[in-house]
Each structure stands twice: as C-alpha cells, then as structure tokens.
Structure 1
Amino acid sequence: MSYVIRTYRGGDEEGIVTAWQESLPYDPIDIEVFRSKVLLDSNFDPEGAIVAVNDDNQVIGFTLALVRRLPMYKDDLEPENGWITVFFVHPDYRRQGIGSKMFQQAKEFIHSKGRKYIFFASYAPNYFLPGIDEQVYPEGYRFLLKQGFIKLYSPVAMDRSLLDFAIPEEVKQLKERREKEGFKITHAEDRHLYELVEFANTVFNPDWGRAIREGILRGLSLDQIFVTEKDGKIVGFCLYGGYDGIQERFGPFGVDPSMQGLGLGKILLNQCLFEMRAKGLHGVWFLWTSENDAAGHLYKKTGFKVTRKFHVMRFSF
C-alpha cells in the first residue's frame, strides 16, 4: 500500500481523530480534546505534527513532537528536552515502515531545535498518557525500544470506588491531634491562591501550579481545593476536578517535605474523598504516581488499586 509522510495541514483534524480512535482503542479522544491539547497548545508547531496519509488522503498515522516555545515557569524552556506525546499507525497499515519514517521526521524536527533528549511522554501541560502502557500496547513498547528509547521509570494509575468509603476513626483522631498542634485544614479561599500556586510551583512541579490556576479559571470551585496551614503558611494541599474539569480525577496532591511523616497527607486525602462522596461521586482516579514511594503506599492503604502501568522512555541524540 502506498502512502505519504507529511506535516500537519489545516483540515487534518477529523481524520487524525478518527484514525486515533481506531489505532489507540484504550485511549480515544474526541475533536474537542484534540483542539485543546494539540492545536491550542502554546508549543504546538505544525512541523512537529507528522501525518501519514494513503492514496485517498485518509490519515493512517500520526506522531506529535514538541519543544518548548513558551516556558512552563519563569524562563525555563528546558533547552535540552523535546517530547513525543503520541504516535500511532492504523492497524491496517502496520509493519510497512510508516511508524519508523514518522519517527525519523519527528527526531529530525526535535534535533533541529538543538535538543539532546526526546521523552515519551512526560510532557506538561498537555500530555495524554505518562508513558507507554506495555500491557495494552506491546507493539508500541517494542517499537520505542527499537527506536533507541530506554525505560527510565514506570509510574502507575490508580482508581478507587467511593461507594464504600468512610473516613476511618483513626484518621479522625489524627486530625484532632494535628489541629490541637496548630495545623488548620480548610477549603481554599481567595487569600490562599497566590501562595498556593507558588507553593505548588516551587515545592513540587510547575504543572501543578498551572493545573490549579487554569482549573479555577475554568470554573473549579474553591470548595474542591483543600489546604493545610501551620502558623499561617501553607504546608499541604489537594484537590479534585482540576484536570480538564473531570470531577472524579484526583490531584494534584502534596505535603511539604519538611512536614511529611505527620499524617497530613492521610488527613487531606481522606477529607477530599469524603467530600467527593458527599457530592455523589461514585469513583476517584488519578493518572500517575510512583507505586512504591510514600504517596503510592498511602493510596494503597486508602483502598486505591493499580489500574494501569506506564513506562516513561527517553531517547538521546
């Protein structure tokens, strides 16, 4: 079968989305998601959007390569890094070298921008998955290895039903003890917002600060954000519904490292899940964490189950 590899053109959108749905059945998107996460991404460059089409001009493959043109935080353009956030070839057109040719063009695009590394797919803000899911896309994982990518680490996604959720008595007692010690756990208020975004940006990750800021701009209620204060200073927070307005999606979530070990994360998490259940939500999920760090253990103890595992991959020029 003959095909052409070219860069994105206006009018490709519906074809890309249709081929995406047929090629990545466990991670479909619609045109609205494509518009917001691809076309309106401040780092989108048509030269990095590689499209494969057949003789009938139907899209049969797509690879999206990105480099920063707008910093996530302050002036950091991550000058060594580029990303490929998604790639696919339609099942009817695989094993013809289409993926390899798209990747070659994507690599050339990123290399031409002076980058040393390509990550799949730990890009912020508009990633689709943290990395490759080997279980559901084994061919994709083998393809990345063949392309010279190495596995760096393997975060997991977790889910929990809220139908049986109740705050354990031990957590209620822990909260009382911490409140007596001067910790205050409340919903966020306008007075918290600047400090909260800066706390998320500097203590954790600028993508977390962005998620808070953009979530609120899209209508996220401050009642969905929880903060922990000590001596008038924010030392922890969590929220739900902040990513893309999906109410059952939890996070971001963090406690100042200097305050870890006091159970503040446990209190925040349980309080948040309780209020999600009180609003009628039947489930909660998040897309990635380390399975074996403190947060991963906390989630498991709170009833979360691993639902997917991803590999963050990197290519070096």
Structure 2
Amino acid sequence: MRYEAMSEKHLDGMVSVWNSEWIRVFPMREQLIAQNVFEDPNWLRHGSWVAIEESRDRIVGFVVAKAYREELAQYGLKSDAGWIQALIVEQDSRGVGIGSGLLGRAEEALRKLGVQRISLGNDLQSRLFPGLPEPEEATKSWFEKRGYVCKAEVFDLLNSYNHRAGVTLPEVQDALFRVATPEDRERMTAFMRRCFPGTWDYQHREYWKRGGTGREYVLLEREGNIIGFCRMNDEHSPLLAQNIYWSPLFDEPLGGIGPLGIDETYRGYRYGISIVQAAIHYLLGRGSRHIVIDTTPFVEFYGKLGYTSWRTYAKFEKTIDLTGSSTFRPE
C-alpha cells in the first residue's frame, strides 16, 4: 500500500472509490468533490491523503482534512477547530489498517497546526456531511476506539409534492416575504453580522463571492428592515448546496431548504414556520417536486409540514492533547 498526499490528479479515483461504496445512497459527482475539497480555502492539502493499492495502481481509500484559517476569526470562529471532512476505504480493503493509516496522517497534520478539537464532517460552507452519515454501530465503535465522542444526532428531512401541489405564500403579522436581489447584498451582510455572527455569516458571504445573485434567499421584512432569512436551493443554484447534493437519486427536480433564522427581537410571531412555507412556495413555483430540509434535530416540528426523516447523521468530536507527543507513527 502506498500513501500519497492528495491533489487534483486524484479526483477521478476518489469519485470511483466513493461510488463503489455509496452510489445507492450518496452518489458522488466530480463537481461536488472539486467544489467542496479542492476549491475550499479551508482544505488542508498536507493533511489529506489517498491510499493506493500498488499492484493495480488504484485508489482504495482517502481522507480529507480541513483546518481553521486566520480569516475566520472575523466570524467569531475559534482557531482550535479542525475537521475530517471524509474518510472512506473500499469494502474489500478494510481490516488491514488503511483507515487507521489515513486517519492518523490527517490527525497528525491537524495536531501540528495546533488544532485541539476535530469534528467528523460539519466543515463550514463546503461540508459533505454534518456528521457521520447513516452510522452503523461498527462504524461508531471504530471512531470511539480512536477517541471520538458522539455529541448529538441531526437529520435530513424529505417531503414530496405532486405536480398539482401548491403552497400559498403565507400571510404574517406586520411583515412580508420576498426573494432577495443583488441589491440586498449589503443589507443582508449587515443583518447576518448583527443577528447571526459565525458560521451562517461566513456561509452567506461565501455565497455572494462565489456567484450568488440573491435568488437562493427568502427575506422576511418588517417596516422596511430585514428580520429573517431562509436559504433555498435548486438545480439552478450557483453552488451545489448540502440539501441538494444527492439530487441524482431523484427522477424529478430536488429543492433544498436551510439554514434559516429570525431576529430574536421578533420571535414568537410564528415567523419561523412561515418562512419555511414561503421557501416551499417559491421552490414549488420553480419546479421542485421533492424538497429536503437538512441538518436539523427538529423532526417533530417540521413534521407539521409533512416532512419525515430521510437521512441520519451522528456528530462526533475528538479533543487533542497538544501537551503530549504524537502517538501516530507512519508505517
């Protein structure tokens, strides 16, 4: 077995090994790997590796690591954060230490950067999963033996609509909904900075930098001020967003909803559920026939709108002790 530092030349092999394992549940496209790994400024190149079976010169596994950049400090994100975005080894090559070898290399690179807290997935703007996907007990146990602890579970929810289905734009007290435009960029940035500093602020700014026009946001306005937002995605969005990653599984267009937030000053008016209904209204009008609400623990809440659990993710973290010496030794 040979380990190589990951680079763009490995893209085809990475997609191949991924789909050999997960094409029926999480079908991977080259566009998604390119967008979420090689084009992500948080990608840690020297912490990402591929395992190559030398006899056939074929990739049989890989790990993707990401790390905090200094620029993230302006969003209030802590500098001790690191992520294992993906770790996959093909079924026939498991049980011989390849997974441990890949994970150890990624963790060592993160440790050398001063990372103290490693999450499985959930890597800001360009994550593939918000946690360990569809976790089997054997997989959870494998990570637990390596120091990872499960913190919570979150879910992707799904609802399907027929061609005659329609959801009217809800009426809300003293406020109105509309789709954002390019002219809203500065006002939205000010709103996010004030009400939702951190990950959502960062994601919003990256959206505009990477070609966003505003059509992916429902705005809630009251007295001319933005008091809420909801992200909505479809096949025409400039970026492949997490709630439409797996659209190849559907014969009809898939739409996605989330994240969403309401200024805490205006909570208690049912604005939250209403802005979801507004996003559904706009997505159905654009032709979506299936809609995913991603990364939420609130299954019962969204069940009121007909949504049911579709995907499950376990959020795992590991704390690194920087005071001791490394325990990883490459083969």
TM-score over 0.5 for the pair: yes
Matches within 5 A, 1:180-259: 183-204=175-196, 206-215=198-207, 222-241=214-233, 244=240, 246=244, 248-259=255-266
Q: Which residue of 1 aligns with 2:93?
A: 93
Q: Using a 3 Å threshold, how does the CA distance of structure 1 residues 153 and 112 change in structure 2: closer, same or farther?
A: same
**CA displacement at 1:222 relative to structure 2:** 3.9
Note if 1:162 corresponds to 2:161: yes
* Residues 36-95 of structure 1 deviation map (CA, whole Å, 9 limit, x = unaligned): 111111122321112111123211110111112353462656321111010011111101
* Residues 135-173 of structure 1 deviation map (CA, whole Å, 9 limit, x = unaligned): 4x54432221121100111111111113275448xx95x
Inter-partner Cα distance in structure 1 for 2:12 and 2:183: 43
Residue identity over aligned pairs, in percent, reads 21
**CA displacement at 1:196 relative to structure 2:** 1.5
**Which amino acid in structure 1 is aligned with residue 268 of structure 2?**
G
Matches within 5 A, 1:82-161: 82-135=82-135, 137-161=136-160
**Which amino acid in structure 2 is aligned with residue 273 of structure 1?**
I
> How does the TM-score come out when normalised to structure 1?
0.85
Q: Which residue of 1 aligns with 2:38?
A: 39
Q: Which residue of 2 aligns with 1:307?
A: 310
Inter-partner Cα distance in structure 2 for 1:251 and 1:301: 17
Q: Using a 3 Å threshold, how does the CA distance of structure 1 residues 191 and 40 change in structure 2: closer, same or farther?
A: closer
Where in structure 1 are there 5+ consecutive unaligned residues? none
Q: Using a 3 Å threshold, how does the CA distance of structure 1 residues 117 and 220 change in structure 2: closer, same or farther?
A: closer
Q: Which residue of 1 aligns with 2:250?
A: none
Inter-partner Cα distance in structure 1 for 2:195 and 2:6: 38
> How does the TM-score come out when normalised to structure 2?
0.82
**Which amino acid in structure 1 is aligned with residue 9 of structure 2?**
G
Inter-partner Cα distance in structure 1 for 2:190 and 2:21: 39
Note if 1:17 corresponds to 2:27: no
Q: Which residue of 1 aligns with 2:319?
A: 316
SS at match of 1:20: helix
Q: Using a 3 Å threshold, how does the CA distance of structure 1 residues 134 and 251 change in structure 2: closer, same or farther?
A: closer
Does the Cα contact within 8 Å between 2:134 and 2:311 map onto a contact in 1?
A: no
SS at match of 2:42: coil
4+ runs of 1 displaced by more than 6 Å? none
**Which amino acid in structure 1 is aligned with residue 160 of structure 2?**
S
Inter-partner Cα distance in structure 1 for 2:52 and 2:232: 40
Does the Cα contact within 8 Å between 1:130 and 1:287 map onto a contact in 2?
A: no
Where in structure 2 are there 5+ consecutive unaligned residues? 245-253, 321-331
Q: Which residue of 2 aligns with 1:29?
A: 28
**Which amino acid in structure 1 is aligned with residue 220 of structure 2?**
T
Inter-partner Cα distance in structure 1 for 2:211 and 2:111: 39
**Which amino acid in structure 1 is aligned with residue 227 of structure 2?**
V
Aligned length: 302
**CA displacement at 1:187 relative to structure 2:** 2.7
SS at match of 2:255: coil
Inter-partner Cα distance in structure 1 for 2:213 and 2:260: 16
SS at match of 2:35: helix
Q: Calculate the aligned-residue CA RMSD, in Å.
A: 2.5
